[in-house]
Chain A
Amino acid sequence: MIFVKGKKNMGIMLIILLGVFTIVLCMVEVPKMLSAKEYKEMIVFFIILSFGVITAVLKILGVQLPNPQGVVIFVNQPIVDIIKGVLEK
C-alpha cells in the first residue's frame, strides 16, 4: 500500500472509494449518453475509465507501473544525441 505505510485497511478503503466514484460517474453519465445516442462517446468514456480504474487499483496494491515517459525517451533519444552539445552545460 503506497498511501499510508503500516495501515493495511487504507488500501481497501481506497478501492471502495474508487468503486463508489466509478459507479456514481457511470450512473450520472451513461443515461445521458444513451438518451442522446452517443455510442462513440460511450466507448471512449469506458476505455479511458477502465484504464484509469485498472491503473489506480494496481497502484493502490503497490505494483510498479511502467513510466509513459519511456515512449518519449525512446522517440527523442536520437534527437537528444544529435544536439547533445547544446543541451549540456
Chain B
Amino acid sequence: MNTIKLSDHQVFALAGNFTMGTAIIAVTATVADYAKQDAWIVALLAPVVGLPLIWVYHYLMKLHPGKTLIEVYYAVFGKVIGWILAAYFVIFVCLLSAPNIIFYIGNFVQTQYMTETPLYALHFVFVICLMVGLLYGLEAIARSSEISIFIVSGLIIFAMLMNLPNINPKNLLPVLEEGFTPIIKASIQLASNITWPCIIFTMFYPLNTVNTNKTRNSLFIGYTWGTIINFICIIMSVLVLGSTITARSQYPTYLMAKEISIGIISRVEAIISFSWIVTETVRVTFYFYAAVIGITRLLGLSDYKKIVLPLGLVSLVFSGVTYPDTIYPGIYDTTMWVAMIGVYGVVLPILMLIITKIKIRIGKL
C-alpha cells in the first residue's frame, strides 16, 4: 500500500496546485471585503507568516517517521483521545470538504455557463472525475498535477498580462487607511484557505516520499509558487476592478478576465475558469484521498480502493445538502471553517510538536 513513492517535482506540483486551489477565484472577494484596497498586503503577509507553520508540519512528521497524521495522534494523545481527534479530523475536515468544494465548482459552472442545468447533473460529472482519479491512485494524481501546474500557471499569468492596459494604480490608494487591524483579520481568512489546510499533506507527505530532507524544499517551493500566483490574482483584481467591486462580486478574477480586450483577443475568461477548475479538482481529490486513507487507518482496513465508490456516492448526495444556498458558504467559511481548521492546522500541530519533544527528552518515544 505504501509502495508509491513521489518524486520531488511531483510534491512541488501537488503543493502548488493545492495552494492555488480555492484561492484564485473564490477567496479574493473575502479578502477584499475585509481589507479593501490593502488586499495585496494581505496576500504578501499571510503566506510569509504561514511559512513557519509549513515547517512545523514538516518537522512534526520528521519526528514520527513512517506514520501518517492519524498514527501521530495515537502516539501523542494515546489511543482513545487520539482516535476521537483523528475521527473528527477525517470526517469533518477532510470528508466534509469534498462535497463543499464540489458545490463550489458546480455553483460556479451553473451561475456562469449552464444556468438551466440542475446542480446535481454538474456535480455528477465532477464526482465521476474524482472517482476515476482516486481509483488510479496517488501516483496518477501526482503525475496529472505535474502536467497541469505549468499550463495553469502559464494561462493565469497570460490573462494577467493581457489585463495590464486596464489597470488603474489609483485603486491601491490610500494605503493602510484603517491601520493594521483589517489586514490581520483578512490574513486570518486567507491563511485559513491557503496555509492551514496544508496539514492535509501530512497524510501522505513523509510516508510516500523518497528523501524527507530533500522533499522539504520542493514542498516549500510549491507552496510559495501557489501563493505567488494567488498574490498576482488578488493585486490584479484590486488594480483592475477596484476594491469595492472586488468585494461585492462572487468571482472577481473571472470578472476581471472579461475586461480583456486587446486586438482580436477578448473574452478569454474561459481560460481562468479552466485553470480554476483544474486546480480545484486537485484540491478536492486531495481532501477525498486524505479522508479515504484516514478511514482506512482508523478502522484498520487493508486497502482504500474498496470504499472509494461508496464514499463517492455519499459525497454526491451531500454535495447538495451541505451548502443549501450561495449565502450560507460565505458565513460558514468565515466563521466555522476558520475555527475548525485553526484548531487542526495551528493549535494541535504546535501542541503535538511540543509534546513529542518532551516525550523524546524523557525517553518515552
Contact = CB atoms under 8 A, between A and B. Distances in A.
B307 interface: yes
Contacts of A52: 310-311, 313-314, 317
B336 A76 contact: yes
A3 B302 contact: no
B313 A80 contact: no
Interface in A1-16: 2-4
B335 A49 contact: no
A72 B317 contact: no
A27 interface: no
Contacts of A33: 306
Interface string B309-329: 111011011101110100000
A3 B118 CA distance: 6
A88 B331 CA distance: 10
A68 B322 contact: yes
B336 A80 contact: yes
B318 A73 contact: no
A3 B120 contact: yes
Interface residue SS majority, chain A? helix
B188 A68 contact: no
Interface in A33-89: 33, 38, 40-41, 44-45, 48-49, 51-53, 55-56, 59, 65, 67-69, 71-73, 75-76, 79-80, 83, 86-89
B332 A69 contact: yes
A40 B306 contact: no
Interface string B111-129: 0000000101100000000
Interface string B83-112: 000001000100010000000000000000
B302 A41 contact: yes
A18 B128 CA distance: 14
User: 7 smallest A-B Cβ distances: which pairs?
Assistant: A52-B313, A48-B310, A49-B310, A79-B339, A76-B339, A52-B314, A55-B317
A54 B33 CA distance: 41
Contact of B299 (A44, A56, A79, A88): A44
Given A59-B320, A89-B185, A71 B311 contact: no
21 contacts: A3-B121, A33-B306, A38-B301, A41-B303, A44-B299, A48-B311, A52-B310, A56-B316, A67-B322, A68-B318, A69-B96, A69-B322, A71-B92, A72-B96, A75-B340, A76-B336, A79-B343, A80-B339, A83-B339, A86-B188, A89-B185
Contact of B317 (A25, A38, A56): A56
Given A67-B324, A69-B332, A49 B313 contact: yes
Interface string B268-296: 00000000000000000000000000010
B169 interface: no
Contacts of B321: 59, 65, 67-68
A40 B301 contact: yes
B338 interface: yes
B363 interface: no
B171 interface: no
